[in-house]
């Protein structure tokens, strides 16, 4: 029920509506809850409404942090074994 997916906007239709692409399927959603989103932006979609824009830079930073923390931990684990 709380499931919501990041989806890319491929078309703006006016009247606070847009078309998103979900794995090749196109679907119309409402932009009534967000401001200043455009074609190519990713938004988190829940029950047919975009809840917020997804920030690609923050997403990259989070993934980089996962990799950095994980690498350091695996390195340390390897050192302990040897």
- In whole angstroms, how close is the CB of 44 to other proteins at the nearest point? 6
Tell me how long the chain is: 82
Residue whose CB is less far from other proteins, 13 or 47: 47
Q: Is 26 in the site for other proteins (CB under 8 A)?
A: no
Closest by CA to 55, choosing from 41, 67, 66, is 41
Site residues (vs other proteins, CB under 8 A): 1-6, 8, 22-23, 30, 32-35, 42, 44, 46-49, 51-52, 54-56, 58-59, 61-63, 65-67, 69-74, 76-77
């Amino acid at each position: 029920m709380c499931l919501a997916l990041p989806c890319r906007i491929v078309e703006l239709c006016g009247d606070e509506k847009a078309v998103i692409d979900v794995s090749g399927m196109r679907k119309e959603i409402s932009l009534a809850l967000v401001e200043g989103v455009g074609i190519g932006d990713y938004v988190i979609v829940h029950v047919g409404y975009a809840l917020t824009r997804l920030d690609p830079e923050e997403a990259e930073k989070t993934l980089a942090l996962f990799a950095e923390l994980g690498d350091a931990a695996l390195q340390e684990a390897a050192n302990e074994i040897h």
